[in-house]
Amino acid sequence: MSRLVVVSNRTADPRKAAAGGLAVAVKESLQQTGGLWFGWSGKIHDESEHDAGYQDLRAQTVGNVTLATIDLSQRDYDTYYLGYSNDVLWPVFHYRLDLANFDVDFAAGYRRVNRLFAQKLMPLLKPDDLIWVHDYHLIPLAAELRAMGCRNRIGFFLHVPMPPLEIMAAVPEHEWLMRSLFAYDLVGFQSETDVTHFTHYVQSEAQAEQLSHDRLRAFNRTLRIGAYPIGIDVDEVVNLAQAKEGRDTFERMREEYSRRRLLLGVDRLDYSKGLPQRIHAFRELLAQYPENRSSATLIQIASPSREAVGAYDDLRRQMDSLCGAINGDYGELDWMPVRYIHRNVARKRLPGLYRASRVALVTPLRDGMNLVAKEFVAAQDPADPGMLVLSRFAGAAEQLKEALMVNPYDAHGTAQAIQRALSMPLEERIQRHEALMSRIRKHDVHWWSSSFLHALKHVEQDQGLDHNAKSGQSERDTRA
């Protein structure tokens, strides 16, 4: 059996409870076959005081999995991570051209770190390794590996949305980025919408030929593509909701809010998640449906995220002010409309919190998938389930059709949907929940990783590797 090699910006210790969907899925697939997980250590090395060996690989073996990591220099961290990954690709892939900062040094740093990853990974590879690269930080990694002679099967999964051509084309290096994807054998997206956007881009900009529904030919290479919507470990969430911490949290919440209906939002504090719009919609709910005053409470948990990026600071201030205003305008001595918590909640407690909530507000302006939506459904009591209010712009909306779908930009419409969720009869809630549960069980995290890896293993490998390697090597497109 081929060994699995996973490459992602960060790695996670397989012995510790996994922090999110990616870590759970990767950990499980790696443990099945044994394998290697390669990425950045999360440490920044101060170049002024270092010996030249700071980029040395550190390897640690845990069971049948080896974790191999490297540090980054301050310059690489600033340009590759904060710069190109989080100040260019993240906003652009979430349709936020207004927030993108197209600095030439960022593009050069991105290219440099991808090459560094390839240089460090290459000596560790065996000829029949299956390589699975994750997310927007590492788009050009396969092209760099090919340029060094790597002929392994390499797959790529994009966790964030693929924007339409008109947005992608605003990135100065768009052509290079999209061509780099053709150095992979298989590229997976979260949704059919993403697949359509990518296909349209390469057909229009690179005269790609569609050989079949999942095969495209361009740049002298044939690429297999597909939608592999990421799922969750449903049983893990079901069990956590009933384990000690889950039950304690559930009971504390039910006691505290016995007379009140609880609405819940759980997100990273990120501008893609539509948090200010959500607070507006909740305010609209209190204005339009006064029966919710003194009786509904929104708990919004927003964990700190990428605080070194300026746009996140602005968002934090905006949220402080919006939550302060709604509490000031509507709050009473014994009731505050919004409880805003700018912290992480322990993973073991989240399912209990989901289960105690009447309604979850998952209303991103744009999201690759959104695992919180799926976790909320899995944690519910099937005999008295809460309702999911879901943005039509989350990748999850393609699957979770029985949720109440909203346009997060429309505060009035979102408030109406929240009201409908709050007053939905038990029978309808049970029916919708059953349907949603069967969808998230069918396409869970195990399905996600095994179907992607199965497709990668069986992909017919193209022989045009060398040509692509050369085109991937071109400096001019990255302005490096």
Which stretch in 6-14, 313-321, 364-372, 419-427 sits in contact with ligand ADQ by CB under 6 A?
364-372
User: Which of 370, 380, 391, 399 touches ligand ADQ by CB under 6 A?
Assistant: 370
Please say which residue, 39 or 472, places its beta carbon nearer to ligand ADQ.
Answer: 39
Write down the residue that tokens 């540090």 correspond to: 71
User: Which of 22, 183, 309, 418 touches ligand ADQ by CB under 6 A?
Assistant: 22
User: Which of 14, 21, 163, 246 touches ligand ADQ by CB under 6 A?
Assistant: 21
Q: Give me the catalytic one of 233, 270, 367, 444.
A: 367
The yes or no reply on residue 173 touching ligand ADQ (CB under 6 A) is: no
Q: How far is the CB of 33 from ligand ADQ (least distance, A)?
A: 21
Looking at residues 308 to 347 of the shown chain, list those that interact with ligand ADQ (rule: CB under 6 A). Answer: 344-345
The yes or no reply on residue 301 touching ligand ADQ (CB under 6 A) is: yes
The yes or no reply on residue 437 touching ligand ADQ (CB under 6 A) is: no
The yes or no reply on residue 160 touching ligand ADQ (CB under 6 A) is: yes
Please say which residue, 150 or 445, places its beta carbon nearer to ligand ADQ.
Answer: 445
The reply to whether 233 belongs to the active site is no
Q: How far is the CB of 427 from ligand ADQ (least distance, A)?
A: 29
Q: How far is the CB of 22 from ligand ADQ (least distance, A)?
A: 6
Looking at residues 266 to 285 of the shown chain, list those that interact with ligand ADQ (rule: CB under 6 A). Answer: 266-268
Which stretch in 59-67, 209-217, 261-269, 291-299 sits in contact with ligand ADQ by CB under 6 A?
261-269
The yes or no reply on residue 400 touching ligand ADQ (CB under 6 A) is: no
Q: How far is the CB of 379 from ligand ADQ (least distance, A)?
A: 10
Secondary structure, 3-state, the chain: CCCEEEEEEECCCCCCCCCCHHHHHHHHHHHHHCEEEEEEEEEEECHHHCCHHHHCCEEEEECCEEEEEEEEEHHHHHHHHHHHHHHHHHHHHCCCHHHCCCCHHHHHHHHHHHHHHHHHHHHHCCCCCEEEEECHHHCCHHHHHHHCCCCCEEEEECCCCCCCHHHHCCCCCHHHHHHHHCCCCEEEECCHHHHHHHHHHHHHHHCCEEEECCEEEECCEEEEEEECCCCCCHHHHHHHHHCHHHHHHHHHHHHHCCCCEEEEEEEECCHHHCHHHHHHHHHHHHHHCHHHCCCEEEEEEEECCCCCCHHHHHHHHHHHHHHHHHHHHHCECCECCEEEECCCCCCCCHHHHHHHCCEEEECCCCECCCHHHHHHHHHCCCCCCCEEEEECCEHHHHCCCCCEEECCCCHHHHHHHHHHHHCCCHHHHHHHHHHHHHHHHHCCHHHHHHHHHHHHHHCCCCCCHHHHHHHHHCCHHHCC
Looking at residues 206 to 235 of the shown chain, list those that interact with ligand ADQ (rule: CB under 6 A). Answer: 230
CA 82/CA 468 separation, integer angstroms = 28
Size of the site for ligand ADQ (CB under 6 A): 21
Please say which residue, 224 or 306, places its beta carbon nearer to ligand ADQ.
Answer: 306
The yes or no reply on residue 385 touching ligand ADQ (CB under 6 A) is: no
The yes or no reply on residue 193 touching ligand ADQ (CB under 6 A) is: no
The yes or no reply on residue 191 touching ligand ADQ (CB under 6 A) is: no
Tokens of 348: 């073991």
The reply to whether 159 belongs to the active site is yes
Q: How far is the CB of 161 from ligand ADQ (least distance, A)?
A: 8
Q: Give me the catalytic one of 94, 134, 137, 159.
A: 159
The yes or no reply on residue 303 touching ligand ADQ (CB under 6 A) is: yes
Please state the length of the chain. 480
The yes or no reply on residue 69 touching ligand ADQ (CB under 6 A) is: no
Please say which residue, 50 or 392, places its beta carbon nearer to ligand ADQ.
Answer: 392
**Residues forming the active site:** 159, 367
Q: Where does this chain bind ligand ADQ (CB under 6 A)?
A: 20-22, 159-160, 230, 266-268, 301, 303, 344-345, 350, 367-372, 375
